Amino acid sequence: MSRILGLSAFYHDSAATLMVDGRVVAAAQEERFTRKKHDPNFPKHAVDYCLREGGLQPEDLDYVVFYDKPLLKFDRLLETYLAFAPAGLRSFLMAMPLWLKTKLHLPREVRKALDGRYRKNIVFTGHHESHAASAFFPSPFDEAAILTMDGVGEWDTASIGHGKGNKIELLKTLRFPHSLGLLYSAFTYFTGFRVNSGEYKLMGLAPYGEPKYVDLILDQLVDLKPDGSLAMNMKYFNYCQGLTMTNGEFDRLFGGPPRSSESMITQREMDLAASIQKVTEEAVLRMARHARELTGAKHLCLAGGVALNCVANGLLLREKIFDDIWIPPPAGDAGGALGGALFVHYQLLENQRRPGGSDRLIRGSLLGPEFSNDEIDRFLKSQNVPHHFHPDEKELLARTVEAMAGEKVVGWFQGRMEFGPRALGSRSIIGDARSEKMQSQMNLRIKFRESFRPFAPSVLAEDVSTYFELDRESPYMLLVAPVRRELRCELSEEQKRAMKDPDLRRRVNVKRSTIPAITHVDMSARIQTVDEERHGRYYRLIREFKRQTGCGVIINISFNIRGEPIVCTPQDAYRCFLASDMDVLVLENHILYKTEQPEVSKAERAKYLGSFSLD
Ligand SMILES: [Fe+2]
């Protein structure tokens, strides 16, 4: 009998995971409860949820595990400060209060958060050990090489490891300040996006640019070794001692200061994005080749923030260095909570591990709260919300598909919330991928942004090769692959001209395929395959969509507005539905139509939108 609570906190994306007797009972990120995106605070609400889900009290727990070693991290902070002193005093002083108050006293803080009712030991796993555990233990492989890459955890910024049976071992690490994650984040910062959340935008921007700075990056900024390790020239970076990622030398190298965040994106930013993406891909490929040499394993597991770079992942798969690769859906720091718990269960307690292809351990990553029809009904009635209840699923799906096919934007709220940064069909906004107007409609009316990025598709798993050049499942939306040639459109002269427009929104709106809303300018798509075993009703919805329309692909975007964490409760979903221009909201078996809802005043709407800071 073992009841293990895994925690990650105090960096970004705090989270909790509960494992009972080898089963992952619950996992969630704190931001979903506090409604503060990437909330780094102690995951009090997520812990409460996990214990509730498991029917446990704090005193029932056998182990609490924290996903990194705070003293080692403090050591890095001190040494780095001393190496650059007196430069860096300001950022050092800014970081100190939280360290002195909380981070250096983690056992005390953890016990306090558990109401003083947990009296057993607290285990601290290494940061990259936690990432590696989250990547290997839930994977379908009995043996695999493991590659973790992120900004930094304690001293390490990447690791190569080996997993076999119920054990993992880290064989090699790369040390701070040399870091692929921080290098990518430096370009995120320089191109005017927010570090630790805008990396996705930079990756989405890359297909618009030419990789013309690759040589400059490799000559000046970073020495990329044959084994994928890197030595950064710290003359150009400021993250050891300052409050910014890059410095004046970096500006001089790339012809001016960083782009300010809401200003126009120019060709320079596009070319920088394409260049750093290419350098990153090359580093990942080299590290992967080296991991194969070191371990001789046929499979690869990846984790850490860089493993969320699904373009690099897709390339890694196509390069066939390994027979197959696997990435956990919470590949970033939230996943450390899961990794820590798995590490205790397998590595420390030596429980047997039986890997299989059925995703038994994390079950599609649908590990968060769910809400019954009765709970939803009580909420809707208490607020006098007009709605239609369809106990018959067929009827529910038929109505939903009817709305989608009529180019309506549908909020889809079903089952357990996803653990990890992507919406996978439990808290999603969905629409018709064939629609030409969907791209701009969803951007402007729902996300309140004008984006240069297309949306991600959900496709029936059995149809993935019909639409995309991909021959396997991608249930976690962590692989990018090309849209099939026969679906691509010939561009007219006018469209070709539009593809050179300085305004990227015009380029992305050019119809490039028969599923334009999900096709990027380089003809790629960030794919989620959907199957009945993992996704249940979501799968049946897309199957019904295909039955009515002949198309097995839909748009899947996260259920939130810009800057808002993905919705967690029916109340969150309803608020977001009212404040945006979503047409229909499906809450389990209830359907709500916007036309039947009370008018929301402009002031109320503005208040809601203003409550989230832009990301
Ligand atoms: Fe990390």
- Residue 160 CA to ligand 1 center (angstroms) comes to 14
Q: Which residues surround ligand 1, an ion (CB under 5 A)?
A: 150, 153, 333
pLDDT at 615 exceeding the cut of 70: no
Q: Is the peptide bond before 177 cis (omega within 30 degrees of 0)?
A: yes
- Residue 6 CA to ligand 1 center (angstroms) comes to 15
Alpha carbon of 39 to those of 10, 31, 44: distances in Å? 9, 5, 11
State the DSSP H helix or E strand holding residue 223, giving kind and residue range, or none if neither.
strand 222-224
- Residue 559 CA to ligand 1 center (angstroms) comes to 25
- Residue 59 CA to ligand 1 center (angstroms) comes to 29
pLDDT at 487 exceeding the cut of 70: yes
Partner residues linked to 27 by β-bridges: 17
Contacts of 116 (CB under 8 A, 6+ apart): none
What would the two tokens of residue 516 be? Answer: 């334009």
Average pLDDT over residues 377-395: 97
H-helix segments, 154-239: 180-190, 199-205, 214-216
CA dihedral over 573, 308, 319, 215, signed as positive or negative? positive
∠ CA(157), CA(161), CA(163), 5° rounding?
140
DSSP conformation class of 444: I
pLDDT band at 321 (very low <50, low <70, confident <90, very high): very high
- Residue 126 CA to ligand 1 center (angstroms) comes to 10
- Residue 154 CA to ligand 1 center (angstroms) comes to 9
581-612 confidence digits (pLDDT tens): 899 999 999 999 999 998 888 888 888 888 88
pLDDT at 508 exceeding the cut of 90: no
- Residue 420 CA to ligand 1 center (angstroms) comes to 13
- Residue 181 CA to ligand 1 center (angstroms) comes to 9
439-480 confidence digits (pLDDT tens): 877 877 776 666 788 899 999 999 999 999 999 999 999 999
- Residue 354 CA to ligand 1 center (angstroms) comes to 27
178 phi/psi in degrees, rounded to 5: -80, 115
**Strand duo 122-124 + 63-66: pairing:** parallel
Residues 207 and 520: beta-carbon distance below 8 Å:
yes
DSSP conformation class of 411: E
Angle between helices 373-382 and 570-579 in degrees, nearest 10: 50
Angstrom distance (rounded) from CA 596 to CA 418: 29
Segment among 373-377, 492-496, 588-592 with least mean pLDDT: 492-496
- DSSP for 253-282, please give it: HTTSSPPPTTSPP-HHHHHHHHHHHHHHHH
Please give the pLDDT value at position 474. 94
Average pLDDT over residues 120-146: 95
CA dihedral over 26, 28, 30, 34, signed as positive or negative? negative
CA dihedral over 606, 608, 613, 615, signed as positive or negative? negative
Average pLDDT over residues 501-517: 85
594 phi/psi in degrees, rounded to 5: -60, -35
pLDDT band at 357 (very low <50, low <70, confident <90, very high): low
Please give the pLDDT value at position 462. 97
Alpha carbon of 518 to those of 134, 200, 446, 459, 483: distances in Å? 29, 16, 16, 11, 9
- Residue 153 CA to ligand 1 center (angstroms) comes to 5
Please give the pLDDT value at position 329. 94
Residues 475 and 359: beta-carbon distance below 8 Å:
yes
Average pLDDT value over all residues in the chain = 92
- Residue 335 CA to ligand 1 center (angstroms) comes to 9
Give the per-residue SS3 of 518-550.
HCCCCCEEEEEEECHHHHCHHHHHHHHHHHHHC
Average pLDDT over residues 394-403: 97
- Residue 440 CA to ligand 1 center (angstroms) comes to 34
pLDDT at 566 exceeding the cut of 80: yes
- Residue 228 CA to ligand 1 center (angstroms) comes to 18
- Residue 303 CA to ligand 1 center (angstroms) comes to 8
Q: Could you count the other beta carbons within 10 Å of the beta carbon of residue 121? A: 11
Please give the pLDDT value at position 450. 60
Angstrom distance (rounded) from CA 248 to CA 253: 9
